[in-house]
Structure 1
Amino acid sequence: MSKIIVAATPVVGHTGPLLRIAGHLAGLGHEVLFLGGSRFAAQAAAANCAFRALPGAADYDDRDLAASFPERERVPVGPERLAWDAMHIFGDPAPAQLDELRRILRDFPATAVVYDSLFLGGVALSLDRKADYRPLMVAVSTFPLMLGSRDTAPFGPGLLPPVNEQERAAYAALADRLAELGRPVTDHLRRTFATAGVALPEGERARVFAEAADHFLQLTVPGFEYPRSDLPGNVRFVGGLPIAAARDEELPEWWPELETVRAQGRRVVVVTQGTVANGDLTALVVPTLRALAGREDLLVVAATARRDGVQLLTAALPGLPRNSRAAGYVPFTALLPHADLLISNGGYGGVHTALGYGVPLVIAAESEDKPEVAARVEWSGSGLNLRTGRPTVESLAAAVNQVLADPSYRDRAEALRAELADHRALDVIADLVSGSG
């Protein structure tokens, strides 16, 4: 068996999938060391992995980014915030990440490093041509494929692929403008890599990062990602990670209603703002409950993903509608098999979990990579893209009516469920690190 390092940016959406991978490899008998945020130490131990915390400022807590990055709060949400995050949340820790990888390798001669594709210390090690020894480098992307292409719109705004030469030309011009606007980010990252003794090659940033790895694995299927005729040869679609079994958690007292709702001729709509952007439930959860209030044919479940979520919700919306039920933490693996529709802000992992159950979607996305996830939901036909993070009550009511009334959305979600089931991401990764992939 092999020695393997698994490394992740200390953000839950990046760390969670890498911990699943680490646990799978450890379960196969490999000796796995997990490098990540200190708050994930217990989870690494539960996965039977050795653990090393990221050093110093690289070990921030994503539950309170304002504490580690107070200046971030002054940057507007949207392209400016994305650029700031690229430089400082993901870029600045790269030298410390690389130094820690080098220290680990001196005592733990791993044959492979599996890293979150925005763990830029892993990118730096992949690019380090002066390294005396470099393991097999396997990057795992936990968000939509960022690679620019002549066959797609530039990444970020959430635009659909071009349908004619006029759109293709317009997108090419937009890509040039965005590249110019993004030059300060690239220059910042180039200086950051240089402090670690690594040269960042010229070219589109996302492509440079992807091509640096020996293998770049995208956690999705072709049916949920735009076709590209110029895709690098090391990029591979491996499907989503298997849906984890539901944990033993206390379920809300209203849970038995889910077992009888279909017998009553009713359907279940689940709404969530995910595990990160859930501090202000008036963005999506509250307007959804208002939009669907009075619908006796629906049971609406607000999954707040916060221990204080029910209290926050009832403070924002005194007197929940009769057809609504609320919960703090509730396992999606237990909830989504009952769902007829998921309304969410477009987290990549949550969307894939829904599709893994064949559940169609309504997406209200605004920040980070979520507009790109929403666009892929629209393009794949598995749901509706509301093109805003704060939809109106009226637009939500209309979207729910449309998706529940038109069986094509469920059909496309079911097709993606079947496609996801045909892929075996964990087996691919295990084969690669064992030298047989």
Structure 2
Amino acid sequence: MSRILVAATPVSGHHAPLLRIASHLAQAGHEVVFLGGARFAEEVRAAGPEFRALPAEADYDDRDFSARFPERETIPAGPAQIMWDIMHVFGDPTAAQCRALKDVLADFPATAVIHDNLFLGGLTLALAEEKGHRPTGFSVGITPLSVESRDTAPHGLGLLPPADDAQREQYAAIAARMAEMREPLVDHLRACFAAAGATLPEGPLGRNLIGAADVFVQLTVEGFEYARSDMPANVRFVGAIPIPAAAGQEQPAWWPELLRAREEGRRIVVTTQGTLANTDLARLVIPTVRVLADRPDVLVVAATGRPDAADQFAAALPAVPGNAIVAGFVPFSALLPLADVLVTNGGYGGTQAALGHGVPLVLGGDTEDKPEVAARVEWTGTGVNLRTAAPSDEALRAAVDTVLDSPSYRERATALAKEYAAHDALATIDALVRASDR
């Protein structure tokens, strides 16, 4: 068995898949230490691995981003905010992350370090020393693959792959302008890497950040990602990590209502804004409930993930419609198999989970990687891309109707679900780690 150090950026969408990997490896008999955000300490210990906390310079509470990153609120959503996030949310902690990894490795000589793809301290560790003199580095892609390629559009804009040579030339011009705009970002990351004792290689940033790892594990299937004739050799598609059923978790009180609706032949529409961009439910969740309020053939389940959901609904609607359930915690592993469509802002993990169950989507998001997720859903034919985080009521209702009434979306999602089912992401990662330790 191996000694494995797993590290995660202290953001729920990054922490959760890395903890599931760490827990699986611990249960498989490996000795595992998990380096992560302090607020997750008890959750990590309950899952099996030993916990070590990130230093304060690299730790924060993602439930209140404005407390740690007040300037972020002034940056408009889209490419500008993505660039700011990479510089400051993910770039600035790099040196502190690298020091923390080295501190753990000093008394826990792991043979493998596994981290999410935006835990950049893990990449500096890999770049600073030759392979054979350090642990094998595994970077886990929990966001859409960002490898630059002539076969894809410039990353971050939510554009579909080029249809012909003319569009390739158009995209090349856009990429050149974006590269110029991103020079401050690259310079900033060079300084962050240098502070950690590593050199960020010259060349395309996305390709370098992926290529720095010995193995880049992408948490999806090939059918959900754009084909690239120049795909880096270290990329492995392993499928999605399933959302586990909570042990001993009781079903919510409204569950019988959901089952009755299903038995009556009503369609189940689930809506969520994920775990990070869910501060203002009036962007997508509340509008979904509102525009479907007159549909007796539909039951809407609003999976808010927020303790103040009732207050937000009370401020926006006279009353919760009779065909809607407003919930905080929702057992997605049990809910998704009953869903006919998921209306979401497009978090990567949630989208993978939906497609793994063959559930088509309606997506409306403009923060982080959400435009890229939505573009891939559009490209695969598994849902409707609203191309905005604040759709009109008419556009939102039309999109839901389109997915519910057009069998092709469910058919494409079902076909993709079969591809997900052919993979066992956790077992594959375990096998890759064991192979690297030989």
TM-score bucket (shorter structure):
over 0.9
1:296/1:71 CA distance change after superposition, 3 Å: same
User: Any idea what the Cα deviations from partners look like across 1:290-309, whole Å, max 9, x if unmatched?
Assistant: 21111111111111111222
2:14 counterpart of 1:14 = yes
Residues 8, 14 of structure 2: 8 Å contact kept: yes
Q: Which amino acid aligns with 1:273?
A: Q
Q: CA deviation at 1:65?
A: 1.3
Task: Name the counterpart of 1:225.
Answer: 225
User: Any idea what the Cα deviations from partners look like across 1:347-369, whole Å, max 9, x if unmatched?
Assistant: 01111111111111000111110
Q: CA deviation at 1:310?
A: 2.4
Q: CA deviation at 1:331?
A: 1.1
Residues 25, 430 of structure 1: 8 Å contact kept: yes
Residues 246, 334 of structure 1: 8 Å contact kept: no
Residues 303, 326 of structure 1: 8 Å contact kept: yes
Residues 243, 332 of structure 2: 8 Å contact kept: no
Task: Name the counterpart of 2:65.
Answer: 65
Task: Name the counterpart of 1:39.
Answer: 39
1:412/1:246 CA distance change after superposition, 3 Å: farther
Q: Which stretch shows the higher mean deviation, 251-260 or 265-274?
A: 251-260
Equivalent positions of 1:15-414 (< 5 A) are 15-129=15-129, 133-414=133-414
Aligned partners of 2:262, 2:199: CA distance in 1, in Å? 59
Q: Which stretch shows the higher mean deviation, 76-85 or 86-95?
A: 76-85
Q: Which stretch shows the higher mean deviation, 299-308 or 364-373?
A: 299-308
**Secondary structure of 2:408's partner?**
helix
**Secondary structure of 2:216's partner?**
strand
Q: Which amino acid aligns with 1:207?
A: R
Please, what TM-score do these two structures have when normalized by structure 2?
0.97
**Secondary structure of 1:67's partner?**
helix
Q: Which stretch shows the higher mean deviation, 415-424 or 122-131?
A: 122-131
Residues 342, 362 of structure 2: 8 Å contact kept: yes
Q: Indicate the percent of aligned positions where both proteins have the same amino acid.
A: 59
Aligned partners of 1:266, 1:56: CA distance in 2, in Å? 49
Aligned partners of 1:376, 1:414: CA distance in 2, in Å? 16
Q: CA deviation at 1:247?
A: 4.4
User: Any idea what the Cα deviations from partners look like across 1:15-42, whole Å, max 9, x if unmatched?
Assistant: 1000000000000111100011111111
**Secondary structure of 2:5's partner?**
strand
Q: Which stretch shows the higher mean deviation, 423-432 or 379-388?
A: 423-432
Aligned partners of 1:420, 1:203: CA distance in 2, in Å? 33
Q: CA deviation at 1:130?
A: 6.7
Residues 363, 383 of structure 1: 8 Å contact kept: yes
User: Any idea what the Cα deviations from partners look like across 1:337-394, whole Å, max 9, x if unmatched?
Assistant: 1111110000011111111111110001111100000000000011000000001111
Please, what TM-score do these two structures have when normalized by structure 1?
0.97
Aligned partners of 2:351, 2:132: CA distance in 1, in Å? 41
Q: CA deviation at 1:313?
A: 1.7
Aligned partners of 2:253, 2:59: CA distance in 1, in Å? 38
**Secondary structure of 2:435's partner?**
coil
Q: CA deviation at 1:251?
A: 3.7
1:131/1:260 CA distance change after superposition, 3 Å: closer
Aligned partners of 1:110, 1:367: CA distance in 2, in Å? 36
Q: CA deviation at 1:87?
A: 0.7
Aligned partners of 1:273, 1:103: CA distance in 2, in Å? 37
Q: Which amino acid aligns with 2:113?
A: V
Residues 18, 115 of structure 1: 8 Å contact kept: yes
Aligned partners of 1:96, 1:424: CA distance in 2, in Å? 33
Residues 294, 322 of structure 1: 8 Å contact kept: no
Unaligned runs of 5+ in 1: none
Aligned partners of 1:419, 1:24: CA distance in 2, in Å? 22
What RMSD over aligned residues (CA atoms) do the two structures have, in Å?
A: 1.4
Aligned partners of 1:310, 1:413: CA distance in 2, in Å? 32
Aligned partners of 1:7, 1:423: CA distance in 2, in Å? 24
Residues 136, 436 of structure 2: 8 Å contact kept: no
Aligned partners of 1:312, 1:141: CA distance in 2, in Å? 34
User: Any idea what the Cα deviations from partners look like across 1:58-90, whole Å, max 9, x if unmatched?
Assistant: 011111111111222222222111111111110
Aligned partners of 1:206, 1:55: CA distance in 2, in Å? 27
